[in-house]
């Protein structure tokens, strides 16, 4: 079974990256085939809100902007579960994740109940800075996205410098658990 891990920070040795490493260990302990993708290494631009607000995303469920979105959309469609990890920027997910989520949501939510993400489990991780401000708002953005694509909320994790040690363990355990749940 395939689990996609998405991370979206420019820092290669920061908190997001540490969570990504733990998620990979955990998912592999649960016997998943892991596909790990750093969104900051891809070229995915923002939605153009074509036409009067909807473009071909509504009718043929693809995006007309040709960039790295298409191949990642395909990877997401074929996966069985998702672990998405972001630094908190402006009380929300980072921009590299936000632009991807915006376009993915349009293409999938417009398919309705039987879209390619529906019924699949998500773990969402928000990594704010020292203030911790916006961690919950960021997780609320994730929740809206999962609601729109009718995914399954497996876990929402808030990790900061203060709780880093035990929350890294939580990321690993949640990732192992989601993988094991998909074996059943």
Ligand X SMILES: Cc1cc2nc3c(=O)[nH]c(=O)nc-3n(C[C@H](O)[C@H](O)[C@H](O)COP(=O)(O)O)c2cc1C
Mark the segment that binds ligand X (CB under 6 A) among 24-32, 89-97, 147-155, 166-174: 89-97
Q: How far apart are the first and last CA of the chain?
A: 11
Task: Report the nearest approach of ligand X to the CB of residue 175 (Å).
Answer: 17
At closest approach, how far in Å is the CB of 89 from ligand X? 4
Report the residue from 90, 147, 153, 183 that binds ligand X according to the rule CB under 6 A: 90
Residue 161 β-bridge partners = none
Residue 128 contacts ligand X per CB under 6 A: yes
Query: Contact at 8 Å (CB) between 98 and 92?
Result: yes
Contact 44/67 with Cβ under 8 angstroms? yes
Q: Does 129 bind ligand X (CB under 6 A)?
A: yes
Shorter beta-carbon distance to ligand X: residue 167 or 176: 167
Query: Which residues have C-beta within 8 Å of that of residue 93, sequence separation ≥ 6?
Result: 8, 86, 101, 126, 138, 141, 142
- Can residue 131 be called a binding residue for ligand X (CB under 6 A)? yes
Q: How far is the CB of 14 from ligand X (least distance, A)?
A: 2
């Amino acid at each position: 079974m395939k689990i996609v891990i998405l991370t979206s920070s420019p820092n290669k040795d920061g908190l997001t990256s540490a969570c990504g490493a733990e998620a990979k260990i955990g998912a592999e302990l649960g016997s998943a085939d892991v596909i790990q993708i750093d969104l900051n290494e891809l070229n995915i631009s923002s939605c153009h809100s074509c036409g009067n607000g909807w473009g071909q995303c509504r009718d043929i469920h693809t995006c007309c902007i040709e960039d790295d979105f298409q191949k990642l959309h395909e990877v997401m469609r074929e996966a069985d579960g998702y672990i998405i990890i972001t630094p908190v920027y402006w009380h929300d997910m980072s921009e590299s994740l936000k632009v991807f989520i915006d376009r993915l949501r349009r293409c999938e939510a417009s398919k309705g109940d039987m879209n390619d993400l529906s019924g699949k489990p998500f773990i969402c991780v928000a990594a704010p800075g020292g203030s911790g401000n916006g961690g919950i708002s960021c997780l609320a953005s994730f929740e809206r996205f999962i609601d729109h694509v009718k995914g399954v909320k497996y876990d929402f994790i808030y990790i900061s410098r203060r709780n880093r040690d035990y929350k890294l363990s939580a990321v690993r355990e949640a990732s192992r658990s989601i993988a094991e749940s998909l074996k059943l």
